[in-house]
Copies of this chain bind each other. A is one copy, B any other.
């Protein structure tokens, strides 16, 4: 019954400039298709539900309500529950101080309602209309969407299998006005799955330090390393404390808890705190306490290892099926961690056109153009390998191979 007045309302109401223009991603209706139950979807970035430690999360939920109920159910500080901030600081220090990171204090950590909120707050703290964010090419569409609310310009830095190309980055820094920060995902990048080499990380931080440019180090997948040694994070190469580091429990524990964190220097954190307080006062007191208690009472590292074993297996199942079924001129990454494969179609192909063929065959993915906000390249798509079981993955890849063959034959 609200529909009937739609047209009348539309005439009178004026939205803000950015929302007036924003029609919503055209991905929306497309991804809505992937929710149909008979579709095998490789579109989302969903963890496998069997990894959720439900028994343990039930135990901590009970304990928190019994032993700290008044705290769990009451308003709390905007930067977050100190017990969780301390647990995160302790873990990061344990992992990264041996790699050269200056020890961080819990006071420099802000808890956010999912890493998406950290991205959004960062956009608001730094960006005015037409400011510039330097990003990898391609980059994460959720970050692009959050920053886009402030109407910046995205400049894609030429990127290869090891990360941004330093010479290209420096050229862009020297020739681009109003660069506010650099946004990167050095570990098992979304969407490509690539992991930056140590050398490239060092070069990036040398340039950031030289030109004093803040760097947003988004690290949702660092814990999901299937093989090879951990490579030092940017925050361990940061003499001027320019790195804003983002970590999350969404990929290792449970995204439905919406718990993530940022580490920033005092000045930046003070600004973030102002926005955080106005944006939702604080992240739920109860979920923060549950995860703090989980970290204290259970072996989180072992849980993460188990996730990695499962996801490494699922990556292999998908890559094997791709090798078996996909046409030879379709290229695909073999990531050593994370949740995604990145598929490159021959030049001139359009992953959106292919999508129509895929949906006909009841299989879905995310077309790649949304990850290239400036160049809009169309011959890529992203596949998630963490969510579906082996059988569905193999069947889905088989269907996708059929779609590919049909599409490439017609082209």
Binding site for B on A (CB under 8 A): 1-3, 5-6, 8-19, 22, 24, 44, 46-47, 49, 52, 54, 57-58, 61-62, 65-66, 69-76, 102-105, 108, 112-114, 116-117, 120, 124-128, 131, 142, 145-146, 148-150, 180, 212-214, 239-242, 250, 254-258, 265-268, 270-271, 273-275, 277-287
Of all chain B residues, the one with the shortest Cβ separation from A253 is B73
A170–chain B nearest beta-carbon distance, Å = 17
A113 to B278 CA separation, bound complex (whole angstroms): 12
> Do A105 and B2 touch across chains, with their CB atoms under 8 A apart?
yes
**A46 lies within 8 A of B74 (CB):** yes
A75-B44, A284-B287 are contacts. A2–B128 as well, Cβ < 8 Å?
no
Alpha-carbon distance A71/B65, docked complex (angstroms): 21
Instruction: State whether A149 touches B124 (Cβ < 8 A).
Output: yes
CB proximity of A5 to chain B, nearest CB, Å: 5
What is the bound-complex CA distance between A66 and B73, given in angstroms?
A: 21
Cα(A268)–Cα(B6), bound, Å: 10
| 8 closest residue pairs by CB, A with B | A12-B212, A256-B285, A73-B254, A49-B70, A54-B69, A61-B61, A73-B256, A58-B65
A356–B265 Cα distance when bound, in Å, is: 32
Main secondary structure, interface of A, reads helix
A103 touches which of B1, B9, B76, B274 (Cβ 8 Å)? B1
Docked-complex contact B2 and A265, CB < 8 angstroms: yes
Cβ-closest chain B residue relative to A13: B214
Closest to A265 in B: B2
Q: List 7 A-B contacts (CB under 8 A).
A: A9-B242, A13-B267, A57-B65, A61-B65, A71-B256, A149-B278, A286-B287
Out of B18, B22, B112, B240, name the residue touching A5 (CB < 8 Å): B240
